[in-house]
Chains A and B, each alone.
Chain A
């Protein structure tokens, strides 16, 4: 199983998210995926339904929205950073500054989806433990480098 950082692609990283609310930020993240517009709507619905089960805002400024969807052909990780923070109904009530969106096809060989979800959660824990300053990062490439080296630690 390869590292989480291998799923990171500058095309799917956005520094400076504009959205101010939950739906807006999910839309902004989904927009970074190279899939047809109508499929983005279907994926967005699935993500919103998951949030209704309980927020994926795990606290300390981090959220991990995720879903399987029929409209997704592969496992994708999208990362977004919001300087101002977004109210995401996080468990600790704090605004969310970094989002890890993980989406996968309905069936993925070897349950990579569940394994990578666990890895994202581990990475989130490291971000908190090391008090990583991701808000001062200026480019997608820089963020990927920062997170990749953190993952290897």
Chain B
């Protein structure tokens, strides 16, 4: 089972993709992607959202609304990929059902491996 932060990272990816696929500039360049494939993405999004606790999903949605993104990656163990701030010394990956936010930009942090 994926951790909560991994799920949020994937959810962000799906949302950004859906947004691009619907943008007229994108359609002009690549044509319309099959409606079926868009539906499959929307279903994947719904399924994923159902697996995320409501308060965390609300936080995700408000970050997306405010910043256009909600999840950042931790680079080299100590740096936020969104704002490049150094994270507090000794910061640890959260438990599988917990999240940690960047103390500078507020984005949800995804710790790789």
Contact = CB atoms under 8 A, between A and B. Distances in A.
Interface of A: 36, 38-39, 42, 46, 49-50, 53-54, 56, 58, 64, 68-71, 73, 105-107, 111, 113-115, 117-118, 120-121
Given A38-B113, A106-B68, A111-B25, A46 B73 contact: no
Contacts of B75: 36, 39
A120 to B, nearest CB: 8
A42 B28 contact: no
B81 interface: yes
A111 to B, nearest CB: 7
Place the interface of chain B in its size category. Answer: 20 to 34
B68 A107 contact: yes
Contact of A118 (B29, B41, B113): B29
A7 B85 CA distance: 26
A23 B23 CA distance: 27
B45 to A, nearest CB: 13
Contacts of A111: 23, 25
Interface centre among A46, A64, A73, A114 (most CB of B within 10 A): A114
B102 interface: no
A54 B68 CA distance: 25
B17 interface: yes
Contacts of B84: 73
A79 B25 CA distance: 22
Interface stretch (B30-38, B47-55, B93-101): B30-38
Contacts of B72: 70
A16 B81 CA distance: 32
Given A107-B67, A111-B23, A121-B29, 4 more contacts: A38-B112, A42-B112, A49-B13, A70-B13
Contact of A73 (B34, B41, B81, B113): B81
